[in-house]
């Protein structure tokens, strides 16, 4: 799996908030860090940065299964084909293993962020949806 260029996604990919911490007392601060990262770079700005850098890929979110918010109107086969051609990266810290309110809040925000981003990628008239 390829990493997404840029500040927001330059951290190692992990499966959930708990992998950052040694005990449950540290979990809220770890998930709050993920929330902060999403708030640092607005979706549109990240889209433009990735597009300019030639690294425009879809965003995926871990949950019960890997999902691609924003591609719901496509059939499963269409979504599978387009994400394989274009490539994707998984947002750090997303998981179906929700440890507390901070992690739940992050999961919701990550899904919204990925949905907005993926819709920009999908609707970009200059994108041929093929990996570079």
* Three-state secondary structure call for residue 90: strand
pTM for the complete prediction? 0.75
List the domain range (segments joined by +) for residue 103: 7-123
Note whether residue 103 is domain-resident: yes
The DSSP secondary structure of 58-76, one letter per residue, reads EEEB-SSS-B-TT-TTS-H
Note whether residue 39 is domain-resident: yes
pLDDT of residue 62: 93
pLDDT of residue 107: 93
Note whether residue 100 is domain-resident: yes
Note whether residue 130 is domain-resident: no
Note whether residue 2 is domain-resident: no
d(CA 26, CA 21): 6
* Three-state secondary structure call for residue 50: helix
Which residues of 3-129 form beta strands (DSSP E)? 58-60, 88-90
Cβ pair 61, 69 in contact under 8 A? yes
Per-block mean pLDDT, blocks of 10 residues, the chain (132 long): 37 38 52 86 93 93 94 94 94 87 91 96 77 38
Domain count along the chain: 1
Note whether residue 36 is domain-resident: yes
Note whether residue 132 is domain-resident: no
Measured on CA atoms in the order 78, 81, 84, 85, is the torsion positive or negative? negative
């Amino acid at each position: 799996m390829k990493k997404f260029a840029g500040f927001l996604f330059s951290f190692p990919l992990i499966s959930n908030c708990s992998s950052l911490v040694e005990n449950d007392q540290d979990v809220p601060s770890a998930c709050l860090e993920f929330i902060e990262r999403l708030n640092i770079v607005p979706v549109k700005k990240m889209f433009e940065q990735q597009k300019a850098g030639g690294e425009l890929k879809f965003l995926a979110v871990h949950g019960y299964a890997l999902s691609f918010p924003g591609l719901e109107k496509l059939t499963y086969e269409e979504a599978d084909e387009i994400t394989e051609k274009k490539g994707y990266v998984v947002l750090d810290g997303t998981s179906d293993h929700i440890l507390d309110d901070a992690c739940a809040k992050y999961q919701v925000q990550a899904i919204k962020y990925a949905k907005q981003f993926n819709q920009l990628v999908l609707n970009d008239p200059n994108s041929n949806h093929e990996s570079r």
